[in-house]
Amino acid sequence: MWTPSLTRDAETTEKAAEIEPMLRRNIPFNTIREQDGESGNRIMSTKEMLTLDAFEEASEIVKNVTANTELIYSEYFSNQTGNKVYLKPENMQVTGAYKIRGAYYKISTMGVEDRAKGLITASAGNHAQGVAYAAKAYGCKAVIVMPTTTPLIKVERTRGYGAEVVLYGDVFDESQAKALELAETEGYTFIPPFDDLTVATGQGTIAMEIIKELPLVDYILVPVGGGGLATGVSTLAKLLNPKIQVIAVEPQGANCLQVSIERGEVTTLPSVNTIADGTAVKTPGSKIFPYLQKNVDEVITIPDDELVVAFLDMVENHKMIVENSGLLTVAALKHLNVRNKRVVAVMSGGNMDVITMSQVVQNGLIARDRIFTVSVLLPDRPGELVKVSTVIANAQGNVIKLEHNQFYSTNRHAAVELRITMEAFGTEHKGQIISALQEAGFRVKAVHTNLG
Ligand SMILES: Cc1ncc(COP(=O)(O)O)c(C=O)c1O
């Protein structure tokens, strides 16, 4: 169950009154642009990025394209963790992720001539759709270079936002090199996915919305791939209230920020391995790294199997589809060693294809013992199968798969193996079913479940 609106207590109202005039300070957009000396008619942004002024400007501008992703109070996660947990549902943005913020703000700072020449980027993920959508909203051309291996659905969706898709390269690095080459030859402006102060400022508008809505927030959890989102969110949070703790969350198999912060320098991982594709990044951005070093309070890493559990938690308790990268912060809620704090988890995206979704659901059910397999050894004589199924039925197990192996033992008359995969209500019920089988005299062993 979730409650869409928030009730403000007296303390919150007081803090809001203190912060809101600061947030409302309107700076006219044209004061931050000036004529470019060389061309005379090129308007360039000279604004310093990742400052309060820039964040305020970006927050107004991105409203043209963002959905109002109000915080959702989570009774389920609050009860589970002993904190007041709120979710920032960026999976509800029109392209299914927060990425339009940075792309749209970046375009807004470009001169008219550059916009007319068009934009380019390389991406097979949310950044592709973010740039495509933002460019369309601004009425400019967008070229997206995607690896040739990109699933057709992603290509079609990006084209659907009006972008021209160039399929090039077997791996992302080759696509990126092509995009940079086309930027050079065609005069397109390259929109980096994360290592750009303007893009990061755009992404940071998420923190503006969080703090306006929940001025007394204690912790903000933010996922990290290359670090653009975390740069924007952590920098603005610290500017508005240095007491807010910003926790960066990475996949355990792609912890490039954690390693870089530990070593005190930008470090490239030899390889990455995670189901969280949006955050499977080997190297954090070097331009944004100093901001991350300064403003991120802690890095938490999450193993993939916890993402699977978080996916089911979100579907069952909040009726929401959140992709693996967006689930990092949800999984991290259980790792926070604090109580009675106001915690916001940024759910950065919801783009998960249905095949991945079905695999994640199956693995999640297995992880929670809602599906499990036992091996039962039976004397090879008529009637044994009926006996086993009666015991399981009486214990309210629901058989979904049966494998009968007569060649388990060299003397097949002594024992045959039956592998039974069934549904249960959870770990306790699984134990009850296994005990019932043992009490009926069967030799039972829990084994790995393979639904393939
Ligand atoms: C859903 C989602 N979450 C998080 C990230 C990570 O963002 P960043 O690379 O800015 O750290 C991405 C990047 O593509 C993403 O798609």
CA dihedral 316, 320, 321, 325 (to 10 degrees): -100
The pTM assigned to this predicted structure is 0.85
Residue 192 domain-assigned?
no
User: Which runs of consecutive H residues, i.e. helices, occur in 94-196?
Assistant: 100-108, 112-117, 126-138, 152-160, 172-186
CA distance 245 to 341: 11
Does a structural domain hold residue 106? Answer: no
**437 part of a folded domain:** yes
Average pLDDT score over the chain: 89
348 is catalytic: yes
282 catalytic per annotation = no
107 lies in some domain: no
Query: Are 54 and 139 in a shared domain?
Result: no
The residue behind tokens 């931050």 is: 32
Whose C-alpha lies nearest to ligand 1, atom 12? 278
Domain-terminating residue out of 339, 363, 387: 363
Q: What is the pLDDT of residues 94-104, one digit of tens each?
A: 999 999 999 99
Domain count along the chain: 3
Which structure tokens are listed for 115? 């916009």
Identify the domain boundary among 363, 381, 404.
363
CA 224–ligand 1 middle distance (angstroms): 6
Ligand 1 atom nearest to CA at 227: 11
* Mean pLDDT of all residues in 81-95: 97
Judge if 212 and 334 occupy the same domain. yes
User: Can you give the CATH number for the domain in which 221 is found?
Assistant: 3.40.50.1100
User: Is there a single domain that holds both residue 210 and residue 303?
Assistant: yes
CATH number at residue 426: 3.30.70.260
In a domain, 114, yes or no: no
pLDDT higher than 70, residue 1: no
Residue minimizing CA distance to atom 10 of ligand 1: 228
Question: Cα–Cα distance between 148 and 145 in angstroms, integer?
Answer: 9
- Does one domain contain both 252 and 170? no
Domain co-membership, 382 together with 409: yes
Measured in Å, residue 165 CA sits from the centre of ligand 1 at 21
Mark whether 203 and 327 lie in a shared domain: yes
Please tell me whether residues 349 and 406 are part of one structural domain: no
**Catalytic pick from 84, 99, 106, 238?**
99
Query: Is residue 110 in a domain?
Result: no
CA of 221 to the centre of ligand 1 (A): 13
Same domain, 224 and 345: yes
Q: Of 187, 213, 240, which one is at a domain's C-terminal end?
A: 187
Does residue 135 belong to any structural domain of this protein?
yes
List the residue whose alpha carbon is closest to atom 14 of ligand 1.
Answer: 278
pLDDT tens digits along 100-116: 999 999 999 999 999 99
Structural domain harbouring 343: 2-99+197-363
Residue 113's φ and ψ, nearest 5 degrees, are -65, -45
Binding pocket residue ranges, ligand 1, CB within 6 Å = 97, 125-127, 193-194, 223-230, 278-279, 323, 325-326, 348-349
Distance 279 CA to ligand 1 centre (A): 5
Residues 421 and 278 both lie in one domain: no
Please tell me whether residues 170 and 275 are part of one structural domain.
no
Question: Ligand 1 centre from 168 Cα, in Å?
Answer: 22
pLDDT, one tens digit per residue, over 318-345 is 999 999 999 999 999 999 999 999 999 9
Residue nearest to atom 15 of ligand 1 (CA): 278
Look at residue 13 in the predicted model and tell me its pLDDT: 55
Q: Which of 59, 108, 325, 348 is catalytic?
A: 348
Q: Are residues 354 and 374 in the same domain?
A: no
Could you tell me if residue 166 is inside a domain?
yes
Based on the fold, state whether residues 125 and 214 are members of the same structural domain: no
